[in-house]
C-alpha cells in the first residue's frame, strides 16, 4: 500500500541543520509519496526565529532538488492529503502537535518537548538526555541512522582531520577549534579541512593559511571516510563519522549537548572552549578513542525510510469515546501505543502494524479458535450455548421490569458469529436477528438455524439498521472492544434500542488480575484488534453519556493462576491436592475483589437518543434515524 507522508523538520534558528538534512534524505528515499514542509515565512514556522523556505532553497539547492518541498498547508477542514505526519523538530509543543494531528496520525522522531507524552508514535534514534521525561518510545534504534556507505579501516594515527559543526554553527566552534589545532601544533595546515555550514553567516575565516576551507558539502557523510579524525558536536555527523571508521571527538555548544555525548559514550572535550590537555592526549591516543567508539555504533544499519513506509496507522487519533485530544501514554511498543484519555478516562489503542485485512474469516472460528481453546467454534457449541442461558435470564428479568414482558423480545446480536446466543434466544421464545462481519458465519445462521442474519460493520449506520429497529435487546458479546470508533458504535446502539430496552455486552477488563498485576505484559498480549480496554469502574459513566443506565454488572473470567503468589499454578501439568486448594482459595479472592479478567454489562436505555460524549465535546453529530417498529 502506498501512503502519503508529510515530513516536518525543525527550521528554528539555533536547532542546527540535522533535522532538515534527515528529512530531506528521507524524502528522497521515500520518493513521490513524501513531501517536506518548510514554511514560506518565519511567522508560520515556529514560536521563535526560523529559516524560511527562500533561505533554505539557496543553502540546500542540491538536496532539495530530489525532494518535494511544500511551503503552504491546506485547510484542516478539507480531507487530509496525508496518511502520516513525521515530526523531526527536536521539541514540539502541545498546540503544535494538536495542529498537526488534524491532518493525520503523528510520528515524532527524537522528540524532547511536551508532545512526547501524547504523540501517537515515538521513534528515538539518538540517545536521550539522562534527565529527560516523557516516557519510553515505541522503538529506539541507532541502526535507523542514515549511515554512510563509505567506510575505512581504523586509523593508526590522527593526521588528516576534519572540523565540522553542522550547517549552522551558531557558536563559531569550527573556526575557533581549527585555530587551536594549528596553534597547539596538533595539525598541519595541509592536513586540516574545515566545512563551513550551509546556514553559516559571517566573514570568510582569517588566520587559516594553508587550511582547506570548504563551503556546503552535499552528502557530507559519504566523504568522512577520507579523514582519520572528525571534530564535531553531538549530532548526526558524530554517529556517521564513527560508523565510517573515523576517530571522533566532540566539542559541544551547550551542557545539554555534552550530557548527551556522555550518555552515548563519545570522547568529549568540553563546552564551547576545549580542554586543551584532553585534546592533546586524545589526538595522541587513537586506540583509546576508537575503542570508545566501538561501543556506540550499531551492528547493522536499517532503512529509516522503509521502516516509516511500513507503518500502517489504525485506530482513532483522538479519544474514541469523547473525541478529546488530551491524553497520556500508558504503554508503547513497535506495533502499537496505548493512551488514557485525560477527559473521560477511556483507555484506547492506536495501532501501527499491518494487522489482518479481515480477521473474521472462516479460519478465525476454526483453526485459530482450535489453537486457543483446543476445539473449533462449532465443536465448542455446547459450552457457548451454556454461557447464553444465564445471560438471557438476566436480560429477560430486566426486560420484564422495564418493558413489562420477558418473551417475544426482538433481539439483535451484533457479532453473532455462528449463532449460539441467537439459537438459545430462539429456544426461549425470543425473536432473534444476527449481524456479523464474517460472511460464512452469517450464512450458517441463516441456513442452519433459520434465523435472519446479515453481514456488515456495526459502525456503518446502514449495516446496523439492516433489520430496522428499534429492538428490545441489543447484545454484543466480546465485540465492543473491536470498534475503533467507540462513540459511533454506542450512538448506533442508542438509536437501535427502544426506551426501556436492554443493552447487554461483555468485554475484557483492564481491572482484572492480568491488568492489575501483569504490568507491560498485559498491553503486550492485548490483541491487535482490541481498540479500547474497558474498566468496570468507568463503564457506568461512559454508558450514561449514551443514554444507558447500568442495572447489573457481572465480573467473570476468574483465573487464580494470574494472581501474585499463585502464578506457579499455571505450570502445573498435574496439580496435586494442595495446588487445587490454593486454586480454590485464589478463585474466592478473585471474586471477592472483582479481579476477573472479563465482565458483563446489562443496561437499560433511558429517554431520548443522546448525543454522546464526542458530540458534547464538539465531535461529529450522530446519525440518528427515526425509530421504527421492529420487523415481525
> Domains in the chain, please, with CATH?
5-144 (3.40.50), 161-294 (3.40.50.2000), 362-557+599-614 (3.40.50.150), 558-595 (no CATH)
User: Is the pLDDT confidence value at 1 over 50?
Assistant: no
Calpha distance 380→547 (Å, rounded): 35
Say which residue the cell 508529510 belongs to.
Answer: 6
Give percent of the chain above pLDDT 70: 89
Is there a contact between 472 and 502 (Cβ–Cβ < 8 Å)? yes
Closest CA to 603 of 490, 519, 517: 490
- Burial letters for 456-494: b for 16+ Cβ neighbours within 10 Å, e otherwise? bebbebebbbbbbbbbbbbbbbebbbbbbbbbbbbbbbb
Check residue 241 and give its pLDDT. 94
* Exposure letters 594-628 (e unless 16+ CB within 10 A, then b): ebbbbbbbbbbbeeebbbbbbbebebeebeebeee
Residue 2 burial (CB count, 10 A): 10
Are 17 and 198 within 8 A, CB to CB?
yes
Query: pLDDT at position 346, please?
Result: 95
Edge-to-edge strand list for the sheet holding 410-414: 453-455, 431-436, 410-414, 471-477, 497-508, 598-605, 548-556
Planar angle of CA 123, 124, 125, nearest 5 degrees: 115
Helices (H), 184-268: 236-244, 255-264
Evaluate if residue 49 carries a pLDDT over 70: yes
Paired strand residues for 604: 502, 549
CA torsion, points 42, 43, 46, 49, in degrees to nearest 10? 50
Asked if 238 and 255 count as a contact pair (C-beta separation under 8 A), the reply is no
Query: According to the model, what pLDDT value does residue 45 have?
Result: 44
Question: What are the pLDDT digits (tens) for 401-458?
Answer: 999 999 999 999 999 999 999 999 999 999 999 999 999 999 999 999 999 999 999 9
Q: What is the pLDDT of residues 215-266, one digit of tens each?
A: 777 778 899 999 999 999 998 899 999 999 999 999 999 998 899 999 889 9
CA gap 109, 168 in Å, rounded: 20
Q: For 472, list phi and psi in degrees, rounded to 5.
A: -75, -35
Take residue 501 and report the three cell numbers written for it: 430496552
Task: Kindly report, residue by residue over 416-427, the tens digit of the pLDDT.
Answer: 999 999 999 999
**Taking the CA atoms of the chain, what radius of gyration do you get in angstroms?**
31
| Cα separation, 78 vs 310, whole angstroms | 26
Beta pairing class for 229-232 and 247-252: parallel
Position 131 scores a pLDDT of 76
* Cα–Cα separations (whole angstroms), residue 186 to 13, 41, 179: 32, 44, 10
- Whether residue 507 contacts residue 598, with contact meaning beta carbons closer than 8 Å, is answered with yes
Confidence of residue 172 (pLDDT cuts 50, 70, 90): confident
Q: What is the pLDDT of residue 621?
A: 34
The pLDDT of residue 209 is 83
* DSSP code per residue over 251-296: EESSHHHHHHHHHHT--EEEESS--HHHHHHHHT-HHHHHHHHHTT
- CA-to-CA distance for 632 and 630, rounded, in angstroms? 6
183-202 pLDDT per residue, tens: 999 999 999 998 876 555 55
Whether pLDDT at 626 is above 60 = no
Which tens digits make up the pLDDT trace of 546-578?
A: 999 999 999 999 999 899 988 888 877 788 888
Q: What is the pLDDT of residue 202?
A: 53
* pLDDT for residue 358: 56
Amino acid at each position: 500500500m502506498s501512503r502519503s507522508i508529510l515530513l516536518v523538520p525543525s527550521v528554528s534558528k539555533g536547532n542546527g541543520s540535522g533535522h532538515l538534512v534527515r528529512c530531506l534524505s528521507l524524502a528522497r528515499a521515500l520518493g513521490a509519496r513524501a513531501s517536506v514542509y518548510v514554511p514560506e515565512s518565519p511567522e508560520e514556522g515556529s514560536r521563535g526565529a526560523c529559516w524560511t523556505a527562500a533561505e533554505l532553497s539557496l543553502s540546500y539547492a542540491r538536496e532539495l532538488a530530489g525532494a518535494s518541498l511544500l511551503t503552504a498547508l491546506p485547510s484542516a477542514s478539507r480531507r487530509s492529503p496525508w496518511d502520516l505526519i513525521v515530526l523531526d523538530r527536536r521539541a514540539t509543543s502541545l498546540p503544535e502537535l494538536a495542529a498537526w494531528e488534524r491532518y493525520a496520525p503523528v510520528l515524532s522522531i527524537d522528540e524532547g518537548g511536551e508532545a512526547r507524552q501524547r504523540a501517537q508514535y515515538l521513534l528515538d534514534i539518538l540517545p536521550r538526555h539522562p534527565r529527560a521525561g516523557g516516557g519510553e518510545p515505541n522503538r529506539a534504534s541507532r541502526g535507523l541512522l542514515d549511515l554512510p556507505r563509505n567506510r575505512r579501516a581504523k586509523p593508526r594515527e590522527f593526521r588528516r582531520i576534519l572540523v565540522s559543526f553542522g550547517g549552522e554553527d551558531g557558536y563559531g566552534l569550527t573556526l575557533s577549534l581549527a585555530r587551536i589545532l594549528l596553534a597547539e601544533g596538533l595539525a598541519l595546515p595541509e592536513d586540516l579541512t574545515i566545512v563551513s555550514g550551509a546556514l553559516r553567516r559571517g566573514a570568510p575565516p582569517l588566520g587559516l593559511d594553508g587550511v582547506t576551507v570548504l563551503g556546503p558539502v552535499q552528502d557530507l557523510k559519504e566523504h568522512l571516510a577520507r579523514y582519520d579524525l572528525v571534530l564535531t558536536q553531538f549530532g548526526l555527523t558524530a554517529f556517521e563519522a564513527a560508523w565510517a571508521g573515523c576517530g571522533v571527538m566532540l566539542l559541544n555548544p551547550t551542557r545539554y549537548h555534552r550530557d548527551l555525548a556522555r550518555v552515548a559514550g563519545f570522547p568529549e572535550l568540553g563546552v564551547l572552549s576545549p580542554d586543551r590537555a584532553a585534546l592533546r592526549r586524545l589526538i595522541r591516543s587513537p586506540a583509546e578513542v576508537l575503542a570508545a567508539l566501538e561501543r556506540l555504533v550499531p551492528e547493522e544499519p536499517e532503512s529509516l525510510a522503509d521502516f516509516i513506509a511500513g507503518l500502517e496507522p489504525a485506530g482513532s487519533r483522538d479519544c474514541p469515546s469523547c473525541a478529546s485530544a488530551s491524553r497520556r501514554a500508558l504503554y508503547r511498543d513497535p506495533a502499537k501505543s496505548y493512551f488514557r484519555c485525560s477527559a473521560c478516562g477511556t483507555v484506547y489503542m492506536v495501532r501501527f502494524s499491518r494487522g489482518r485485512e479481515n480477521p473474521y474469516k472462516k479460519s478465525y472460528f476454526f483453526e485459530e479458535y482450535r489453537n486457543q481453546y483446543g476445539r473449533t467454534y462449532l465443536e465448542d457449541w455446547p459450552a457457548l450455548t451454556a454461557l447464553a442461558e444465564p445471560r438471557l435470564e438476566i436480560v429477560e428479568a430486566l426486560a420484564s421490569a422495564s418493558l413489562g414482558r420477558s418473551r417475544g423480545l426482538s433481539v439483535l446480536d451484533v457479532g453473532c458469529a455462528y449463532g449460539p446466543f441467537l439459537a438459545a434466544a430462539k429456544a426461549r421464545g425470543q425473536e432473534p436477528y444476527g449481524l456479523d462481519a464474517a460472511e460464512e458465519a452469517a450464512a450458517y445462521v441463516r441456513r442452519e438455524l433459520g434465523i435472519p442474519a446479515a453481514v456488515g460493520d456495526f459502525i456503518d449506520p446502514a449495516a446496523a439498521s439492516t433489520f430496522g429497529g428499534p429492538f428490545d435487546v441489543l447484545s454484543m458479546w466480546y465485540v465492543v472492544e473491536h470498534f475503533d470508533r467507540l462513540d459511533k458504535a454506542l450512538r448506533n446502539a442508542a438509536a437501535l434500542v427502544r426506551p426501556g430496552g436492554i443493552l447487554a455486552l461483555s468485554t475484557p477488563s483492564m481491572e482484572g488480575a492480568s491488568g492489575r498485576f501483569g504490568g507491560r505484559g498485559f498491553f503486550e498480549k492485548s490483541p491487535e484488534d482490541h481498540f479500547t480496554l474497558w474498566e468496570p469502574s468507568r463503564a457506568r459513566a461512559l454508558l450514561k453519556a449514551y443514554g444507558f443506565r447500568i442495572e447489573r454488572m457481572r465480573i467473570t473470567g476468574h483465573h487464580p493462576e494470574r494472581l501474585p503468589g499463585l502464578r506457579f499454578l499455571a505450570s502445573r501439568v498435574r496439580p496435586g491436592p494442595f495446588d487445587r486448594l490454593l486454586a480454590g482459595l485464589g478463585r474466592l479472592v478473585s471474586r471477592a475483589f472483582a479481579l476477573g479478567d472479563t465482565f458483563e454489562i446489562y443496561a437499560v436505555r433511558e429517554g431520548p437518543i443522546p448525543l454522546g460524549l464526542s458530540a458534547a465535546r464538539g465531535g461529529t453529530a450522530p446519525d440518528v434515524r427515526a425509530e421504527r417498529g421492529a420487523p415481525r
